[in-house]
Amino acid sequence: MLERLLGGLRIEMGGRRPHAEVVAGLGGFLRAIYQNGWGDTLAAGAQLFPDDYPSRRPRLPPGLPASVMAQVESPANLDLWTDSASRLIG
């Protein structure tokens, strides 16, 4: 049942941040069941492992949209800077 649920989550959420949060919540719930002895009928293998969590995608560095950079690099806008060192951003 857990494998079907995890597979469905992978299809539905595709590794986005809420996907990891749902899997983490489920893992915490299963741990609480074991720790508190609430699940006498729960199979011993009903637990989550690191491979069950979605892989983290590398984050892109923050950047400015091309339209903003075009404005910054515009010679007319660079001429507005009074400090010549600031002009180096263009």
Q: What is this structure's pTM?
A: 0.55
* pLDDT tens-digit series, residues 1-10: 888 999 898 8
Domains of the chain, by residue range, sit at: 1-53, 63-90
Sign of CA dihedral 62, 67, 69, 71: negative
| Residues constituting the chain | 90
- State the pLDDT at residue 84: 78
* pLDDT tens-digit series, residues 22-57: 999 999 999 899 888 888 888 877 888 888 888 877
* Cα(45)–Cα(17) distance, integer angstroms: 26
Among candidate residues 5, 66, 7, 10, the one with its CA nearest the CA of residue 30: 5
